[in-house]
Amino acid sequence: MNRYLLDGFAPVHEELTAFDLEVTGTLPDHLDGRYLRIGPNPATDPGEDYHWFLGEGMVHGVRLQDGRARWYRNRYVRPRGEDFAPNTNVFEHAGRTLAVVEAGGTPYALTAELDTVGPCDLGTVTGGYTAHPHQDPDTGELHAISYSWTRGNLVDYSVVGTDGRVRHQVEVEVTGSPMVHDCALTEHYVVVYDLPVTFDLGMVAGEAPRPLQATDRLIDQTLRTGTASRLPYSWDADYPARIGLLPRDGGNVDVRWFEIDQCYVFHTLNAYEDGSDVVIDVVRHDRMFATDFTGPNEGPAYLTRFTIDTAAGTVREHRFDEHSQEFPRHDERLTGRRHRYGYAAGVLAAGIRTGDSVLKHDLVAGTTTERRLGAGREVSEFCFVPSSADAAEDDGVLMGYVFDPATGTSDLVLLDAGTLEDVAAVHLPGRVPAGFHGNWAPTA
């Protein structure tokens, strides 16, 4: 049975609405807004070749106001025609709630109550949009790298203004046709990842994925475990791994490329400039989609710093600790600026689901604090919400959904970002399946 259809990954099919939710602890009075998170949630049985990234999108939201949990809602994103329903990220920008997906998908606008409004082209980004835009905290603009297999060896850098429209877009040439899940932003650059998970044309034609054609042992393993896939991207051992620095106001000819050891990066924690160095903190995977083609299950992943010396043209790589983790987040008031703290979800050794721990990294002291939330519980991504606009970097709360298999339900859990101690838990009427990204959307 496909692991991404079982246990905490299993989809829920009922759209729920509940009001005046039970709360343990005390919700901070200043929290006025919605916590939103999205993930794949197949509406019908997708079959054994289901890939986790391809399920229909479902948004889960909790409305907080005046120290109370006013409502919980979960709603499918309902696409039009042949559009693929966004399932990867949901956030507020320019007065709109937007659900997004990568690889050429169209963003969709939602109502405040999470019902689908319809497609939102942001002023027409070439080749669709991304799952991971990054907002400049000074300008409020969204910077993104978008890709699609239909674009060949081109990816697109776009800037969406505070009016919700694209104001700048340039094409960037990469080696082949890579999966570019995320990017990074610094004061003067957008960081482009050109890494060895690439479009696999043979998979579209029904052939075995590229790594399986190269190794009989892997073919045998795949046949035993049933890891076929409908997502046509796989590990390419011959593809060079590079990080590109594109000046924000530059074009393709201005990109400087720096080679690194082969690896894959889904998510950036943050990046910033330190003199002539560019510092990029990421969760680094040794490889991806090389033996399992139903989801990211290629072993542990670690918080890693790439330091690009732009003067010498070299890259230094440093692993911070030995906790396997994913879904890194930081205080987004510091996006593109020097940060001290980062947060992540601990991942079980098998690499197929999150465990019960939330991690806090002090990147100056070089220490990591682990908070266990209870044996068997499954955490999701936790995002940081400051106590006030001018609060210190770790003065605020972390919030994210936590599933408890013992009860079969999930909570919205709030932790003190400084100490990782409990602040409050909002008890939901159902389960939030393992999913992708969430954000706090404050009331305007």
pLDDT 10s digits, 377-431: 999 999 999 999 999 999 999 999 999 999 999 999 999 999 999 999 999 999 9
- How large is the greatest C-alpha to C-alpha distance in the chain, in angstroms? 61
pLDDT tens for 143-179 read: 999 999 999 999 999 999 999 999 999 999 999 999 9
Burial of 407 (0-12, 13-18, 19+ CB in 10 A): exposed
By C-alpha distance, which of 113, 110, 112, 69 is closest to 89? 110
Q: What is the DSSP letter of 220?
A: H
Spatial separation of the C-alpha atoms in residues 339 and 272, rounded to whole Å: 8
pLDDT at 67: 98
Place of tokens 């709109």: 96
User: Residue 435 and residue 58: Cα distance in Å, rounded?
Assistant: 9
Q: Are strands 108-110 and 116-119 parallel, antiparallel or unpaired?
A: antiparallel
In this structure, are residues 122 and 163 in contact, taking their beta carbons and an 8 Å threshold? no
The DSSP H or E segment spanning 218 is helix 216-225
Please report the pLDDT score of residue 217 as a whole number.
46
Smallest CA-to-CA distance from 175 within 127, 268, 243, 266 is with: 243
Give the integer Cα–Cα distance in Å for 402 and 134: 25
Handedness of CA 283, 257, 161, 270 (dihedral sign): positive
- The sign of the dihedral angle between the CA atoms of 334, 338, 344, 348 is positive
Phi, psi angle pair for 25, to nearest 5°: 90, -160
Q: Is 44 exposed, middle or buried (0-12, 13-18, 19+ CB in 10 A)?
A: exposed
Q: How far apart are CA 286 and CA 261, in angstroms?
A: 9
Mention every residue, 6+ apart, whose C-beta is less than 8 A from residue 248.
Answer: 143, 159, 188, 189, 190
- Please say whether the beta carbons of 116 and 139 come within 8 A: no
Each residue's pLDDT tens digit, 91-149: 999 999 999 999 988 999 999 999 999 998 776 677 789 999 999 999 999 999 999 99
**What confidence score (pLDDT) does residue 53 get?**
95
Q: What SS3 class is residue 369?
A: strand
pLDDT digits (tens, 9 = 90+) for 298-327: 999 999 999 999 999 999 999 999 999 999
38 touches 439 (CB < 8 A) = no
Q: What is the pLDDT of residues 25-61, one digit of tens each?
A: 999 999 999 999 999 999 999 999 999 999 999 999 9
Helix then strand then coil, in percent of the chain rounded to 5, is 10, 45, 50
**Residue 222 pLDDT grade (very low, low, confident, very high; cuts 50, 70, 90):** very low
Q: How many CA atoms lie within 13 A of 411 on its CB side?
A: 23
Displacement of CA 146 from its chain's centroid (Å): 14
